[in-house]
Amino acid sequence: MKKSLSILVSIMILCVMMEGILLGEIQNYSLESGKYKENWNREWRIYQPGAERIRVHFAWIRTERGYDHVMTSAGDDWSGYYNDVWSNWKYGDTIVITLTSDIIINDDGFKVDKIDVQMRNNSMNTPTNSTSVGKQPPKKYINLRSGRYKDKCYETWTITQPGVRKIRVHFVWIRTESGYDHVKTSAGDDWSGYYNGVWSNWKYGDTIVITLTSDISKTDEGFLIDYIEYEV
């Protein structure tokens, strides 16, 4: 009887602990790029409604090393031959895979065979008089990509979230010629070179502006923004 009671109590504790945490599920998934061609720039979107975060498993990747790339919106960038690799986690319900190639030599691309999805269990009620639980600033998914920039580039992008007190943006990656080409924000940020997973400073007001500038030689991929965060 004592043993049965102990097991029952353990199960009850486990159920309580599971309230409000991320619940994971690995699912079989079939996505293959097929043999790619020269000058490719193609995207595939994997969408799981209600997911807190998502990642993908590549059975294999086959590209020309150093020239052709398989990238994800989670900040991954592979070039060459790989087997059995997971992407980084991408917060939100969508992850984007991009395949780019140059003007010569092509290969088989990639094959995705699994996705890992984590859903948040929100069944636990937060006490209405609680003041100790920290509230995270709201996030909003966006997909803003500069595209490969040209020489003597001077371009701006304006992001507005009406009515907010302050705002910042998250860069999945930044790719510019170090020391010469720059990604800047109106919040005072200035990046030049290669970066992954960086937040801008907070910009007070409901608008933040991103600027990309380049010199007269050597171009790159620019930047990819996946989230904005704001406080009302």
Tell me phi and psi for residue 46, to 5 degrees.
-115, 120
- Please give the distance of CA 43 from its chain centroid, rounded to a whole number: 14
- Residue 165's contacts (CB-CB under 8 Å, 6 or more residues apart) are 204, 205, 230, 231, 232
Non-local (6+) Cβ contacts of 181 within 8 A are: 149, 153, 192, 212, 213, 214, 215, 218, 219, 220
What is the rounded distance in angstroms from the CA atom of residue 87 to the CA atom of residue 73?
9
Examine domains 22-120 and 139-231 and report if their fold is the same.
Answer: yes
Q: Domain map of the chain by residue range?
A: 22-120, 139-231
pTM of the shown model? 0.49
Sequence-distant (≥ 6) Cβ neighbours of residue 122 within 8 angstroms: 20
Report, at the CATH architecture level, how domain 139-231 is classified. Sandwich (2.60)
Q: 59 CB contacts (<8 Å, ≥6 apart)?
A: 83, 84, 111, 112, 113
For 179, the token pair is: 């020391």
- CATH number for 22-120: choose from 3.30.200.20, 2.60.120.290, 2.40.30.60, 3.40.50.300: 2.60.120.290
Q: What is the pLDDT along the chain (232 residues), one digit of tens a residue?
A: 544 444 444 444 333 333 344 556 788 888 899 999 999 888 888 888 778 889 999 999 999 999 999 999 888 899 999 999 999 888 888 888 999 999 999 999 999 999 999 876 543 333 333 333 345 567 787 888 998 999 999 999 999 989 999 999 999 889 999 899 999 999 999 999 988 888 899 999 999 999 999 999 889 999 999 889 898 8
Q: Are the CB atoms for 39 and 100 separated by under 8 Å?
A: no
